[in-house]
Amino acid sequence: MSHNLLAGKVGIISGALNSQSIAWKVAQKAHAEGARIVLTNAPLAMRMGEIKALAAEIDAPIIPADATSMEELGTLFTEAQAHFGGKIDFVLHSIGMSANIRKGKSYGDLDYKFFQQTLDVSALSFHKMMAVAEKQDALNEWASIVGLSYIAAQRAFLDYTDMSQAKAVLESIARSYGQRLGSLKKVRVNTISQSPTKTTAGTGISGFNAFYEYADKMAPLGNAPAEACADYCVSLFSDLTRFVTMQNLMHDGGFSSVGISEAIVDAITKASAESAQ
């Protein structure tokens, strides 16, 4: 059900690869709430073609940009403002990639070129987007910028390897740039720390199903689905959250505040009883 929360607002949404992508759902929900949108993704993702279906569905142009390139991001923000006929009200950074994870490297055997690429694609790109927006003075007052993070920024999840460091940097950039853009332009910057979610990036992590099931059993509300994450993004883009900034906001069904749950106690008790037989 729409509440017209984003009526009259315009924004850039990155990272919609296919219908599982969190960004895909954010674009659909933001459109349903009355926003006009520009979609962007890496040129390589564009060749896979699925994003065109989303673009047609929500009547949004696609402006390709590799988020590690200041030049391509510059073109993105210039063309987006030309399309909207004005400045931008919200930006979603929904970008993550680790070649170390893709190639199954363990934490003790990371390739450092890949590590730097992970940081560049998954974290510094957040800084670059805001730096380009600032230089072009592309944001309206009270604009909202959101990045997507994961709890491995705070706690060790070894299979998440170098993405853990990327998320820690991402969250730190949200604080520092949030301070700067807040005082410069009353713009807010936050990250949402999302539950494990079955997407292309998510399921690429070894042991993902165990991450997913464990978090689901720990969280009193269960894992937060991508659709609910999209709702949370919409609330952060809306005027209802104008004084929320520089925060890492847990969107995890309560996972991060639980020590142990009954479901985990039951599972371990059952497994111990079976192994004793």
Question: Binding site for NAD(+), residues?
Answer: 15, 21-22, 95, 167
Q: Which stretch binds ligand NAI (CB under 6 A): 13-21, 100-108, 127-135, 177-185?
A: 13-21
Annotated catalytic, 160? yes
Cβ-proximal residues to 76 (8 Å cutoff; 6+ apart), any chain = 12, 38, 40, 63, 65, 132
With binding defined as CB under 6 A, does residue 12 bind ligand NAI?
Answer: no
Question: For ligand NAI, which is the closer residue by CB, 48 or 265?
Answer: 48
H or E element, residue 211: helix 208-218
Active-site hit among 150, 212, 214, 232: 150
Annotated catalytic, 150? yes
Residue 191 · residue 215 · CB < 8 Å: no
Q: Three-state SS for 139?
A: strand
Residue 130 · residue 104 · CB < 8 Å: no
Quote the tokens at residue 109: 């055997």
Active-site hit among 107, 112, 160, 177: 160
Residue 250 · residue 46 · CB < 8 Å: no
Quote the tokens at residue 211: 């991450």
Question: What binding mask, one character per residue, do residues 70-109 give for ligand NAI by CB under 6 A, x or -?
Answer: ------------------------xxxx------------
Task: Please state the closest distance from residue 108 (CB atom) to ligand NAI, in A.
Answer: 22
44 by Cβ neighbours in 10 Å (0-12 / 13-18 / 19+) ranks as exposed
**How far is the first Cα of the chain from the last one, in angstroms, to the nearest whole number?**
53
With binding defined as CB under 6 A, does residue 126 bind ligand NAI?
Answer: no
Q: Please, which of residues 228-267 interact with ligand NAI by CB under 6 A?
A: none
Rounded to an integer, what distance in angstroms lies between the CA atom of residue 68 and that of residue 161?
20
With binding defined as CB under 6 A, does residue 201 bind ligand NAI?
Answer: yes
Quote the tokens at residue 70: 């200041």
Question: For ligand NAI, which is the closer residue by CB, 184 or 215?
Answer: 215
Task: Please state the closest distance from residue 68 (CB atom) to ligand NAI, in A.
Answer: 5
With binding defined as CB under 6 A, does residue 191 bind ligand NAI?
Answer: no
Q: Please, which of residues 34-73 interact with ligand NAI by CB under 6 A?
A: 41-42, 45, 66-68
Enumerate the active-site residues.
150, 160
Q: Rule CB under 6 A: which residues touch ligand NAI? A: 14-15, 17, 21-23, 41-42, 45, 66-68, 94-97, 121, 148-150, 194, 196-197, 199-202
